[in-house]
């Protein structure tokens, strides 16, 4: 049983400080831990050098990565170099992209998530005529904007939420601000989704973003590991549990061995999926007991 973490860029014999607690929890649960250099992989594009500390295994072994998000082509580099060392990442590059890019996830969840469209954007140059024509399908609904991976949710009013799809000036300013904030980190293009009123929890104490009744589920090898409260702040309702049986059913058709599923309760009382994520790069909410999480990963690791 193997877990791969990023090393500390200032001391590559130790784990990245942000993953110290997960590293310790994995070790306590009997996992063999491995380190690689995220910077050598992503900035220098040198996968060989990035993984130089990992020796070739005598037999083929499974390995799970836990760390920072990788772009699909970076994940492929990591996947391939580990293969040459006889380590097989839990998800193939295609399985990784299935949950990392919303346009790739959409086919698995479209009946259970807000209506979504997307368009690619090159050189941060948005074709607004194309945006206006694509969003006509939403009528005058409110929208949210993100890229294929992330939103700027902490800039809710200026770079995420659009009150009406027909307000062209507002569409332009929110999309423009979003693209400006993403800068060169813009992932592939724009994703635009119908906004659905979610059940309130509280207002984020720092950014002022409205926090809603949301949960993060993790699935490993077809099994639900856990359902965690998504936000640290706000009172979750102890007697209002998500309908996990129906989400488990949806999960069965998602082509990935390890993924997260973010779900929310709407103001109407429906339960919807917000997004999927690859389980290797999805953050654990702060309150989650790391020892318990790695115990669950151990129990469902498979052979
Ligand atoms: N379609 C939607 N309708 C209403 N609220 C949404 C919608 N999509 C996202 N949100 C809210 O915005 C937050 C950020 O959106 P999300 O797609 O999860 O972006 P990120 O990848 O940055 O986390 C979600 O946690 C949720 O509260
Ligand atoms: Mg999210």
Question: From the CA of 54, how far away is ligand 2's center (Å)?
Answer: 32
Question: From the CA of 274, how far away is ligand 1's center (Å)?
Answer: 6
- The secondary structure of 147-202 as a DSSP string is ESS-B-GGGHHHHTEES-TT-HHHHHHHHHHHHHHHGGG--SEEEEEE--PBPEEE
Angle at 69 between CA 34 and CA 251, to 5 degrees: 95
pLDDT at 90 over 90: yes
Question: From the CA of 86, how far away is ligand 1's center (Å)?
Answer: 38
Record the tokens describing residue 277, joined without a space.
């994520």
167-189 tens-digit pLDDT: 999 999 999 999 999 999 999 99
Q: Tell me if 141 sits within 8 A of 112, measured CB to CB.
A: no
Ligand 1 binding residues, C-beta < 6 A:
114, 144, 146, 150-151, 153, 193-196, 198, 212, 214, 262, 274-275
Residue to probe by mutation, ligand 1, list 162, 260, 274, 282, most atoms within 8 Å of CB: 274
Give pLDDT, residue 202: 82
Q: Which of 30, 23, 28 is nearest to 4 (CA)?
A: 23
pLDDT at 207 over 90: no
Query: At 233, is the secondary structure helix, strand, or coil?
Result: coil
DSSP state of 273: E
15-39 tens-digit pLDDT: 999 999 999 999 999 999 999 999 9
Total residue count of the chain as it appears in this document:
303
Give pLDDT, residue 7: 98
pLDDT at 76 over 90: yes
Give pLDDT, residue 232: 86
**What is the Cα–Cα distance from 290 to 292, expressed in whole angstroms?**
5
**What is the Cα–Cα distance from 8 to 38, expressed in whole angstroms?**
9
100-137 tens-digit pLDDT: 999 999 999 999 999 999 999 998 899 999 999 999 99
**What is the Cα–Cα distance from 110 to 270, expressed in whole angstroms?**
15
């Amino acid at each position: 049983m193997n877990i791969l973490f990023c090393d500390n860029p200032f001391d590559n014999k130790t784990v990245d400080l942000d993953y110290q607690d997960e590293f310790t929890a994995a070790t306590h649960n009997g996992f063999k831990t491995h380190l690689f250099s995220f910077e050598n992989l992503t900035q220098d594009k040198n996968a060989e050098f990035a993984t130089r500390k990992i020796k070739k295994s005598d037999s083929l072994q499974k390995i799970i990565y836990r760390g920072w998000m990788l772009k699909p082509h970076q994940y492929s580099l990591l996947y391939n170099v580990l293969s040459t060392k006889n380590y097989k990442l839990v998800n193939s590059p295609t399985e990784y992209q299935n949950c990392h890019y919303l346009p790739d996830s959409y086919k698995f969840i479209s009946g259970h998530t807000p209506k979504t469209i997307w368009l690619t954007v090159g050189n941060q140059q948005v074709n607004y005529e194309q945006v206006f024509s694509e969003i006509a399908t939403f009528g005058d609904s409110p929208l949210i904007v993100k890229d294929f991976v992330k939103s700027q949710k902490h800039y809710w009013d200026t770079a995420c939420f659009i009150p009406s799809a027909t307000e062209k000036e507002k569409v332009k300013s929110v999309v423009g601000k979003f693209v400006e904030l993403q800068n060169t980190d813009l992932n592939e293009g724009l994703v635009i989704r119908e906004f659905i009123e979610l059940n309130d929890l509280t207002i984020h104490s720092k950014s002022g973003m409205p926090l809603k009744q949301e949960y993060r589920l993790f699935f490993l090898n077809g099994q639900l590991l856990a359902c965690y409260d998504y936000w640290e702040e706000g009172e979750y309702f102890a007697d209002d549990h998500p309908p996990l049986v129906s989400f488990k059913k949806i999960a069965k058709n998602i082509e990935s061995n390890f993924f997260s599923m973010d779900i929310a309760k709407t103001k109407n009382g429906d339960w919807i999926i917000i997004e999927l994520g690859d389980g290797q790069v999805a953050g654990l909410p702060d309150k989650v007991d790391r020892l318990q999480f790695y115990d669950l990963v151990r129990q469902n690791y498979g052979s």
